[in-house]
Amino acid sequence: MTHDPTPPRVLHLIASPRRGSSSTAIGQAHLDELRRQHPGAHTETLDLWSLDLPSIDGDLLDAKYAILARRPHEPAQAQAWARVQALVAQFLSFDHYVFSVPMWNLGIPYRLKHYIDVITQPGLTFSWTPERGYEGLVHGRTAVVVYASAFDYTPGSPLRDWDQQKAFMTTWLRYIGIDAVEAIDAGPTRPSEPGAPAAREAAEARARQLAQGPFGVVDRMR
């Protein structure tokens, strides 16, 4: 158990709408162990399926392109952009992220993609210049991503080349500036698949292990 001079702030983002979701349960195991190791840690859960996300159209898109063109916002654009800024501010108020991500059609659930599209904005989570290209603005954070899939998509499996889930999440996190990322592979989760019980046990053990030590994954990645 660690007594933190500055208690860490941890956000668990749930991308599955299913009760009994493997990805959610394993992410929760990581949070539970963090709380045991760091009693002062502040943890919150964000259920993306109950979150009111703005549509990415009309005034919001115009607001984004006004920023890229360095034009001032019109009133309706400013109002739309304020909702984005509030969601980004919430995201940035945390030190460590736990993403519980099931595989949907080889990729990520559309609700998670919607959230990512809302908070991935110029001047807020990334920047671009002709000289330096893309640069992430979300520094000093860490992430654990729990990947659940019905079948085995790990390296060496016959299905590995079909996996678009892990590549997307890894690229996006790097894009916004989070390079300190640990993955937990929870596949296969289909009960009839050989090795499913062992995969679940190994995933939960890794989730707990990553939470141990002086804020576990965070300090080891600094």
| 147 close to 184: Cβ distance less than 8 angstroms | yes
- Provide the pLDDT for residue 184: 96
| 59 close to 77: Cβ distance less than 8 angstroms | yes
- Provide the pLDDT for residue 154: 86
Angle at which helix 75-92 crosses helix 110-119, to 10 degrees, equals 110
For 69, counting Cβ atoms within 10 Å of its Cβ (0-12 exposed, 13-18 middle, 19+ buried), the class is: exposed
- Provide the pLDDT for residue 194: 87
- Provide the pLDDT for residue 222: 47
Q: Quote the longest CA-to-CA distance of the chain.
A: 58
Local mean pLDDT, 10-residue blocks, the chain (222 residues): 74 96 97 92 96 95 92 96 97 97 98 98 93 95 95 90 96 96 94 91 96 64 48
Nearest Cα to 34, choosing from 112, 92, 95?
A: 95
The one-character DSSP state at 51 is S
Beta bridge partners of residue 146, listed in sequence order: 100, 184
| 51 close to 36: Cβ distance less than 8 angstroms | no
* Cα–Cα dist 21/33, whole Å: 19
Residue carrying the six token digits 């889930």: 165
| 160 close to 154: Cβ distance less than 8 angstroms | yes
| 115 close to 51: Cβ distance less than 8 angstroms | yes
H or E segment and range at residue 108: none
Nearest Cα to 173, choosing from 147, 132, 144?
A: 144
Residue carrying the six token digits 């519980």: 100
Beta bridge partners of residue 100, listed in sequence order: 14, 146
